[in-house]
């Protein structure tokens, strides 16, 4: 029973929707800005869940395929399709409701915010190659070297920039220091990119068979850790230090904010041994929850 519930939460992408909300709340707390309304967070939850569910909805399990996550979708295909349809429907209703409530503010939104929204939307579409092949055949999900950075970029935009844009729509006079936003964005971008690369470590054998040249396939596990993960995490830590200095963080909140980066290194080293897929989903995705909790908790000492 417990095992079925865990698979439902993690394979069904419930947890990833919770992560999107948690990281958005961290943004509000760290930037000392108001929280968004409930409808926005519900939209973020259901849209994230739908986005990740789509990846597995049409995957066919063959006798040679031993991926437990793919098998779970095959065994629960009716639920998965229903969940996807329901999530898309709720997302559309919430989005239309927010647009209707803020139609006047949307018309006066600064062009830079529209540009951010368009760039992220294009990245989301290209990730799955949703455009007609006659127009553009690019599928970033099958591009080993770009994939992790696009995932990190989209996550950072959705949890760091989108909450601010929504506040700008609802409260036009609300102002945020762009310097703080920049460094918070870099911190999240680096952290989520590292998180995505660690998932590529999980899929090393499968990606190698598909000749998908991810970082770990091309450079090997040790080189990926020392030449990629550590430098990326270092950039994230540096951005956190600069952010903390600008916000006048004392030693304790700075250490609390840096803790998830150090924990990511520990988890990266644990990738030397193969684990069950739920380990990766719980532990690697769990790092994002740890980051959000630490980011919120640290501000209690500021």
Closest by CA to 265, choosing from 281, 287, 285, 280, is 287
**Residue 110's pLDDT band (boundaries 50, 70, 90)?**
confident
* Model pLDDT, residue 174: 65
**248-268 residue pLDDT tens:** 888 899 999 999 988 988 887
* Percentage above 70 pLDDT, the chain: 83
Flag the least confident range among 16-20, 39-43, 266-270. 266-270
Question: Is the predicted pLDDT of residue 234 greater than 90, yes or no?
Answer: no
- At 275, list the tokens: 């684990």
Question: Is the predicted pLDDT of residue 152 greater than 70, yes or no?
Answer: yes
* Model pLDDT, residue 72: 85
**Residue 135's pLDDT band (boundaries 50, 70, 90)?**
very low
Supply the DSSP string of the chain, one letter for each residue.
-HHHHHHHHHHTTHHHHHHHHHHHHHHHHHHT-PPPPHHHHHHHHHHHHHHHHHHHHTPPPPTT---HHHHHHHHTHHHHHHHHHHHHHHHHHHHHHHHHHTHHHHHT--HHHHHHHHHHHHHHHHHHT-S-TTT----GGG-HHHHHHHHHHHHHIIIIIHHHHHHHHH-TT----HHHHHHHHHHHHHHHHHHHHHHHHHTHHHHHHTT---HHHHH-HHHHIIIIIHHHHHHHHHHHHHHHHHTT--HHHHHHHHHHHHHHHHHHHHTTS---HHHIIIIIHHHHHHHHHHHHHHGGG-
* Model pLDDT, residue 3: 75
Question: Is the predicted pLDDT of residue 177 greater than 60, yes or no?
Answer: yes
* Model pLDDT, residue 124: 79
* Model pLDDT, residue 268: 78
Question: Is the predicted pLDDT of residue 290 greater than 80, yes or no?
Answer: yes
**157-174 residue pLDDT tens:** 999 999 999 998 887 656
Please state, in angstroms and rounded to a whole number, the distance separating the CA atoms of residues 64 and 85: 29
The pTM (predicted TM-score) of the whole model is: 0.88
Flag the least confident range among 61-65, 112-116, 152-156, 297-301. 61-65
**Residue 149's pLDDT band (boundaries 50, 70, 90)?**
confident
- Extents of the domains making up the chain: 2-301
The per-residue pLDDT of the chain, averaged, comes to: 82
Question: Is the predicted pLDDT of residue 273 greater than 80, yes or no?
Answer: no
Flag the least confident range among 20-29, 31-40, 45-54, 67-76. 67-76
């Amino acid at each position: 029973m417990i095992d079925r519930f865990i698979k439902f939460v993690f394979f069904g992408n419930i947890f990833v929707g919770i992560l999107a909300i948690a990281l958005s709340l961290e943004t509000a707390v760290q930037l000392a800005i108001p929280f968004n309304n409930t409808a926005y967070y519900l939209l973020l939850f259901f849209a994230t869940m739908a986005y990740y569910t789509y990846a597995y909805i049409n995957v066919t399990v063959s006798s040679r395929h031993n991926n437990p996550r793919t098998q779970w979708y095959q065994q629960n295909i009716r639920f998965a399709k229903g969940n996807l349809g329901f999530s898309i429907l709720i997302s559309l209703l919430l989005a239309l409701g927010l647009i209707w409530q803020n139609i006047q503010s949307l018309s006066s939104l600064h062009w830079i915010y529209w540009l951010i929204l368009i760039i992220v939307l294009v990245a989301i579409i290209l990730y799955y190659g949703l455009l007609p092949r006659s127009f553009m055949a690019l599928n970033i999900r099958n591009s080993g070297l770009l994939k992790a950075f696009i995932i990190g970029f989209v996550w950072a935009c959705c949890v760091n920039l989108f909450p601010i844009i929504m506040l700008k729509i609802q409260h036009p006079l609300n102002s945020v220091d762009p310097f703080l936003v920049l460094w918070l964005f870099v911190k999240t971008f680096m952290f989520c990119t590292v998180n995505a690369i660690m998932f590529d470590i999980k899929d090393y054998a499968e990606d190698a068979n598909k000749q998908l040249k991810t970082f770990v396939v091309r450079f090997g596990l040790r080189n990926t850790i020392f030449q990629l993960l550590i430098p990326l995490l270092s950039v994230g830590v540096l951005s956190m230090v600069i952010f903390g200095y600008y916000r006048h963080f004392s030693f304790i909140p700075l250490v609390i904010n840096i803790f998830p980066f150090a924990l990511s290194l520990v988890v990266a080293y644990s990738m030397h041994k193969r684990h069950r897929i739920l380990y990766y989903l719980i532990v690697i995705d769990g790092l994002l929850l740890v980051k959000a909790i630490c980011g919120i908790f640290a501000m209690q000492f500021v």
